[in-house]
Structure 1
Amino acid sequence: MLQLTSQAAFEQHLHRDIAHRYIAHFAGCWLQSHFQPIYYRSGGVFGYEALLRVHDAAGQALRPDLFLAGLPLAQQVDADRLSRVIHLRNFAASSEACCLSLNLLPQTVLHEARYGGNFELLLQRLGVLGLDTGRVVLEVVEYEVEQGEAALSQALRNASAAGFGIAVDDFGAMAAGHGRVCALRPDIIKIDRSLLLDYMHGDGGRLARLLQLGWEIGSRMLVAGIETEAQYRAMTELGVELYQGFYLGMPDFLPVRREL
């Protein structure tokens, strides 16, 4: 059973660090926000992807995916929603004028669709924080869209209708077709890094086909995992619009420019 069913319940888990950033305490661990920049081909900042960082009581870093997987299902949803809260507050406190991409567990998306209609609770929170819905991108991986519940695609369509951007990550990691993703027509498609590596080793056919597929359905194409200048230059020559990776910018805190 979900524990975080009210604003007061969320607030009990929230704290501030010495830099006034929001952090959360949940299941005996501390949750933090890091943000990795996403760049346009021109070099300007398109936005940031919010990334969860987890530390146990002793300060030892834990892999976020393993932390979440070790929780009961209802607590996974609670932890995911709590992570979203600190990401949104920290991003709003930074006063950045670009987009924010939020990675969501599929079960969280389904919960929001059932519990909040067209993401009513999230919409209300964005209003309080002064964030425009169109600047918030909800991101899920392709495997979950293609192989998960059909209700997930409908929930994402509801989110899109409510004004959120939709992104599909790890596109091309599956050998199977991309029918549900194509039907969803996400705003952003993030190419799986394996296709970038294949391209750099001389096998670029599949990457070219998937880029063309994304452009045909009207999605903005993003290549993640850029770790060298050569990779970056190769992708710009293909006409890719958006870029992310350690070569361009490491995940880090955003500065606090206003108090919430």
Structure 2
Amino acid sequence: MTHPPTPTGSHRPVGCSRCADQAPLPFDFSMAFQPIVDADERRVFGYEALVRGTDGSGAYSILQQVNEDNRYTFDQTCRIKAVELAAKLQLQGYLSINFLPNAVYQPAACIRATLEAARRVGFPTQRILFEVTEGEQLTDRAHLKNILLEYQRQGFKTAIDDFGAGYSGLGLLAEFQPDIVKLDMELIRGIHQDSTRFTIVEGIVGICRKLNIRLIAEGVEHLDEYAALKALGISLFQGYLFARPSYEALPPVEWPLG
């Protein structure tokens, strides 16, 4: 997921009075869905909900309109739209939703709209996976940890997205162990012919295995990349090799040979 600009300073209210005072978003958007597949079992593990313009435009055009004044409303609307569409499409497996930690003021309070939407449309909350990018420039690392812990307490799955692309990396894992780590696509690009990348990913695989964290290789486009990652013991994949995102639809999976 492409991410909107993050605030330059700490601007998180103590309470949630600001949440009730949010103006409607000045723009509309919807979601596309891309499968996350389990290659060992040849089944769909889940789908990631990706922001798209209602005209089919990419995430960038929408996220450029997100600012400090509407960040909370945008984050909450993303969650609700994703859950409503998932239920409408009868999505099976996990629903992966990106969230903005700087838009979460109080974890237990700010999750209420997601819970209410899931109950209203009948989507099981235990099949919701919340992703936060490892490269997100956080104003408060302890705040992120509290959010993720609260989400796990509520029964949601948690994931660190774009792992290996940001500055925090293993330091974030030392403080919090999510259910899933998603390897950044730049780290796996050309891994079949790059011994350095292969060695780095091999190390991450070993660490995650010992911490009981599942790995998803995202952005997989080529069969050689897929074969190298599978040889390292990775079974969960996301990328154009399997399916491109589909606007308000669940695309079929193309299973590579081997």
**TM-score, normalised to structure 1's length?**
0.79
- The aligned residue for residue 258 of structure 1 is none
Does the 8 Å contact 1:34/1:251 carry over to 2? yes
> What CA distance in whole angstroms lies between the structure 2 residues aligned with 1:194 and 1:96?
29
Against the structure 1 CA distance between its residues 188 and 129, is the aligned structure 2 distance closer, same or farther, given a 3 Å change threshold? same
For residue 131 of structure 1, the aligned residue among 119, 123, 135 is 123
Q: Would the aligned equivalents of 1:52 and 1:64 in 2 still touch at CA under 8 Å?
A: yes
Q: What is the rounded CA distance, in whole Å, between the counterparts of 2:235 and 2:75 in structure 1?
A: 29
Contact between 2:19 and 2:72, CA under 8 Å: does it hold in 1? no
Instruction: Give the count of matched residue pairs.
Output: 231
Distance change (3 Å), C-alpha of 1:158 and 1:3: closer
Q: Which residue of 1 is the match for residue 199 of structure 2?
A: 205
Give 1:21's aligned residue.
Answer: none
1:104 is the counterpart of 2:104:
no
Counterpart residue identity of residue 85, structure 1? I
* Structure 1 residue 40 corresponds to structure 2 residue 38: yes
Give the aligned partner of residue 107 of structure 2: 113
Cα pair 1:182 1:217 within 8 Å, conserved = no
More strand by proportion, 1 or 2?
Answer: 1
Match among 243, 251, 256 for residue 245 of structure 2 = 251
Q: 1:254 to 1:80 in 2, by over 3 A?
A: same
Q: CA deviation at 1:2?
A: 8.6
Residue 60 to residue 248, structure 1, CA distance change in 2 (3 Å):
closer
- Separation of aligned partners in 2, 1:157 and 1:76: 22
Q: How does 1:123-202 map to 2 (within 5 A)?
A: 123-144=115-136, 148-174=140-166, 177-197=169-189, 199-202=191-194
**C-alpha contact 1:146 1:181 (8 A) present in aligned 2:** no
Task: Looking at secondary structure, tell me which structure has more helix per residue.
Answer: 1
Question: In the superposition, relative to structure 1, how do residues 215 and 146 fare at CA in structure 2: closer, same or farther (>3 Å)?
Answer: farther
- 2:20 aligned counterpart, secondary structure: coil
Structure 2 gaps, min length 5: 1-15, 251-258
Give me the CA root mean square deviation.
2.7
TM-score normalised by structure 2 residue count:
0.79
Q: In structure 1, what residue type is equivalent to 2:150?
A: N
Instruction: Name the CA distance, whole Å, in 1 between partners of 2:96 and 2:169.
Output: 25
SS at structure 2 position matched to 1:154: helix
Query: Any idea what the Cα deviations from partners look like across 1:81-118, whole Å, max 9, x if unmatched?
Result: 1122111101011112211000111223x2251634xx
Tell me if the contact between 1:145 and 1:152 (Cα under 8 Å) persists in the aligned partners.
no
